[in-house]
């Protein structure tokens, strides 16, 4: 341990990047120390970090190499070190597509996911779901349903997001777990709410009436989470494309223009101006919000606003004319993308008089 | 999501859509390209190859979050802020290459907590940090034994409480 510490120190004193000249083969050799008992958490964590770093740098591992590293890594489950355990989860996820027989860790992960430590559980769920295939799904279903309605937001989110990923394994996962997701939707945690809505939408995506019902219900209690609100706006926007009536939906999106999160306000304005059916009256309020954003100190917000205005200027040049003054200010913006967008927008809306300026 | 150094080399990067840049060669070309477009102008946002990229830099590090051009720019921004803030909290303010490499494991875990397969998992820096900053400070050689004893005592206490 001490010798290792010193090694590391020396490396650091040498300056430069301690991970710079890593050789794949050397690192994989080092991975053999994973087999030693008792496990030295700090050393093993360092080696595992090296492996993850190599993978991240785009180093290709052969199936044999990956499998060998994977199996060595499974030995680390003996250790109780928190960081090491978390790195192992990360390693499982990274190697799951490369190595063979990765399902060997299923039982270890299931144990962690039902254990006491919340920090393990969330991460274990996500790792488990990356190695799960269609045949194993039934075995973990019960745990997943429990995790979705778990008290800890981290666990709940992890389970919800994982079930979204699992849709690629089995198409009806989301539908089978919809009841639990429905319950999670009432969570006070903003992320859980967002993820739950994602799962519910996934479950009902193919059924237009079910989506309408879901949206109608949520419109009344406008979600607290800005992410969920953005998603709801997108769902409403998509519905408006498909159904004939939709006064309520438009009304809802308009009401989102007064949301306290800029993210939602922009999403709503963006949706309103892009609706094929809206006339000058509908986009009026949205345009004025975008106009306000043009003066924002945040470049991203200015960029978003100008880009949207640029698009609207094609269909409703008259409506955008009101923003001309603000757009002219943006011509000299320090961000070149913003300036360019402002100029092209002005070219669409401007009259001869303003071109001179 | 990517963190590059001041030569445009990759420190960490994660691509969530296999269709956009399928090989690591294409990814690196994109990163070089992105870096050359962004390393001088401190402009926060840029369109490149049909992607909206938001970015932020500090000393010798560049943080990027990329998304489809149909994506809400402010959502991307919130992810970027979360990434930057969590890294800065993990490193206790000195956000530079050296420090990131020293805590590479934790930074990796943090990135993993922020985004899972392209879905935002958490956008609140303090809760991300809470989930990953598990290690007590790196311990100097001399004090190690004392601290280890304390640590093990702490753990024992925790386990006895949990039972």
Domain ranges of chain B: 2-162
Mean pLDDT, rounded, for A190-219: 84
Q: Do B74 and A58 touch (CB under 8 A)?
A: no
* The predicted structure's pLDDT at residue B75: 87
Supply the CATH classification number for the domain B2-162.
Answer: 3.30.450.60
Of A280 and B4, which is predicted with more confidence?
Answer: B4
Mean pLDDT, rounded, for A185-214: 84
Residue A146 CB partners (closer than 8 Å, separation 6+): none
Kindly give the residue spans of alpha helices, DSSP state H, lying in A221-298.
226-242, 247-255, 262-274, 280-294
Asked whether residue B116 carries a pLDDT value surpassing 80, the answer given is yes
A255 within 8 A of A269, measured Cβ to Cβ: no
Looking at the partner chain, which of B25, B73, B127 has a beta carbon nearest the beta carbon of A300? B73
Q: Considering only alpha carbons, which residue of chain A is nearest residue B22?
A: A58
For CA atoms A347, A349, A351, A354, the dihedral sign is negative
* Parallel/antiparallel/unpaired status of strands B115-116 and B119-120: antiparallel
A205 within 8 A of A237, measured Cβ to Cβ: no
Of A336 and B72, which is predicted with more confidence?
Answer: B72
Pick among B1, B2, B102, B119 to test the A interface (most A CBs inside 10 A): B119
- Angle, helices A41-56 vs B104-114, to 10°: value is 60
Of B121 and A331, which is predicted with more confidence?
Answer: B121
* The predicted structure's pLDDT at residue B161: 61
Q: Measure Cα distances from A210 to A138, A214, B1, B116 in Å.
A: 26, 6, 35, 27
Q: Considering only alpha carbons, which residue of chain B is nearest residue A300?
A: B45
Over the stretch B34-44, which tens digit does the pLDDT of each residue have?
888 887 766 78
CA A53 to chain CA centroid, Å, is 22
Beta bridge partners of B61: B5, B58
Question: What is the share, in percent, of chain B residues with pLDDT greater than 90?
Answer: 0
* The predicted structure's pLDDT at residue A266: 86
How far off is chain B from A304, nearest CA to CA, in Å?
Answer: 6
Mean pLDDT, rounded, for B11-33: 83
B42 interaction partners in chain A (CB closer than 8 Å): 334
* The predicted structure's pLDDT at residue A240: 80
Q: Do A266 and B73 touch (CB under 8 A)?
A: yes
Looking at the partner chain, which of B14, B47, B144 has a beta carbon nearest the beta carbon of A337? B47
Q: Is residue A353 exposed (0-12), middle (13-18) or buried (19+ Cβ within 10 Å)?
A: exposed
pLDDT band at B144 (very low <50, low <70, confident <90, very high): very low
Asked whether residue B4 carries a pLDDT value surpassing 60, the answer given is yes
Q: Tell me the DSSP string of A193-242.
A: HHHHHHHHHHHHTT-HHHHHHHHHHHHHT--SSHHHHHHHHHHHHHHHHH
Rounded Cα distance, A5 and B152, in Å: 19
A60 interaction partners in chain B (CB closer than 8 Å): 24
Residue A6 CB partners (closer than 8 Å, separation 6+): none
A303 interaction partners in chain B (CB closer than 8 Å): 44-45, 73
How is the beta sheet containing B45-48 ordered, strand by strand? B10-13, B2-5, B61-68, B51-58, B45-48
A320 within 8 A of A312, measured Cβ to Cβ: yes
Q: Considering only alpha carbons, which residue of chain B is nearest residue A47?
A: B105
Instruction: Give yes or no for a cis peptide into A149 (omega within 30° of 0).
Output: no
Q: Do B72 and A116 touch (CB under 8 A)?
A: no
* The predicted structure's pLDDT at residue A130: 85
Q: Do A334 and B41 touch (CB under 8 A)?
A: yes
B125 interaction partners in chain A (CB closer than 8 Å): none
Q: Do B108 and A87 touch (CB under 8 A)?
A: yes
pLDDT band at B149 (very low <50, low <70, confident <90, very high): low
Mean pLDDT, rounded, for B137-148: 47
Over the stretch B48-105, which tens digit does the pLDDT of each residue have?
878 888 888 887 888 888 888 888 888 888 888 888 888 888 887 678 888 888 888 8
Mean pLDDT, rounded, for A30-34: 78
* The predicted structure's pLDDT at residue A260: 82
Rounded Cα distance, B80 and A55, in Å: 23
Looking at the partner chain, which of B72, B131, B135 has a beta carbon nearest the beta carbon of A230? B72
- The model's pTM is 0.81
Pick among B72, B135, B138 to test the A interface (most A CBs inside 10 A): B72
Rounded Cα distance, A251 and A180, in Å: 30
Q: Considering only alpha carbons, which residue of chain B is nearest residue A165?
A: B117
* The predicted structure's pLDDT at residue B136: 47
Rounded Cα distance, A273 and A275, in Å: 6
Structural Rg of chain B based on CA atoms: 18
Looking at the partner chain, which of B74, B108, B124 has a beta carbon nearest the beta carbon of A90? B108
């Amino acid at each position: 341990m001490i010798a290792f510490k010193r090694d590391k120190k020396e490396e650091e004193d040498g300056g430069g990047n301690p991970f710079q000249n890593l050789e794949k083969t050397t690192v994989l050799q080092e991975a053999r120390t994973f087999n030693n008992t008792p496990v030295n958490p700090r050393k093993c964590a360092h080696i595992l970090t090296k492996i993850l770093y190599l993978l991240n740098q785009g180093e290709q591992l052969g199936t044999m190499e990956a499998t060998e590293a994977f199996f060595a890594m499974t030995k680390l489950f003996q250790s109780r070190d928190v960081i090491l355990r978390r790195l192992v989860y990360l390693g499982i996820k990274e190697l799951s597509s490369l190595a063979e027989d990765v399902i060997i860790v299923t039982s270890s992960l299931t144990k962690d996911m039902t254990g006491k430590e919340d920090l393990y559980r969330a991460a274990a769920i996500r790792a488990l779901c990356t190695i799960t295939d269609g045949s194993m799904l039934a075995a973990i279903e019960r745990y997943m349903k429990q995790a979705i309605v778990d008290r800890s937001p981290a666990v709940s989110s992890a389970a919800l997001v994982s079930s979204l990923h699992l849709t690629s394994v089995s198409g009806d996962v989301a539908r089978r777990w919809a009841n639990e997701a429905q319950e999670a939707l009432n969570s006070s945690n903003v992320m859980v709410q967002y993820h739950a809505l994602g799962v519910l939408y996934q479950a009902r995506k193919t059924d237009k009436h079910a989506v309408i019902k879901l949206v109608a219900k949520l419109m009344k209690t406008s979600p607290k989470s800005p992410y969920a609100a953005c998603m709801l706006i997108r769902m409403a926007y998509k519905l408006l494309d498909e159904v004939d009536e939709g006064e309520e939906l438009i009304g809802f999106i308009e009401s989102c223009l007064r949301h306290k999160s800029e993210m939602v306000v922009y999403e709503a304005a963006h949706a309103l101006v892009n609706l094929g059916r809206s006339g000058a009256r509908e986009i009026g309020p949205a345009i004025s919000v975008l106009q306000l954003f043009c003066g924002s100190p945040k470049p991203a917000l200015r960029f978003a606003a100008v880009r949207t205005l640029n698009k609207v200027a094609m269909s409703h040049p008259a409506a955008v004319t009101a923003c001309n003054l603000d757009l002219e200010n943006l011509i000299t913006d320090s961000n070149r993308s913003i300036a360019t967008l402002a100029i092209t927008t002005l070219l669409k809306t401007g009259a001869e008089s303003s071109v001179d300026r | 999501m990517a963190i590059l150094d001041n030569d445009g080399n990759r420190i960490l990067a994660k691509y969530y859509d296999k269709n956009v840049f399928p090989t690591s060669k294409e990814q690196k070309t994109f990163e070089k390209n992105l870096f050359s477009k962004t390393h001088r102008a401190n402009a926060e946002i840029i369109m490149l190859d049909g992607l909206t990229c938001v970015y932020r830099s500090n000393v010798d590090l560049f943080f990027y979050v990329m998304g489809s051009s149909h994506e809400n720019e402010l959502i991307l921004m919130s992810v970027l802020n979360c990434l930057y803030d969590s890294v800065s909290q993990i490193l206790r303010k000195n956000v530079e290459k050296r420090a990131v490499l020293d805590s590479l494991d934790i930074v990796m875990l943090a990135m993993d907590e922020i985004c899972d397969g392209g879905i935002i998992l958490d956008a609140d820096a303090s809760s991300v940090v809470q989930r990953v900053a598990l290690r007590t400070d790196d311990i100097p050689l001399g004090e190690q034994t004392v601290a280890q004893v304390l640590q093990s005592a702490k753990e024992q206490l925790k386990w006895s409480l949990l039972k």
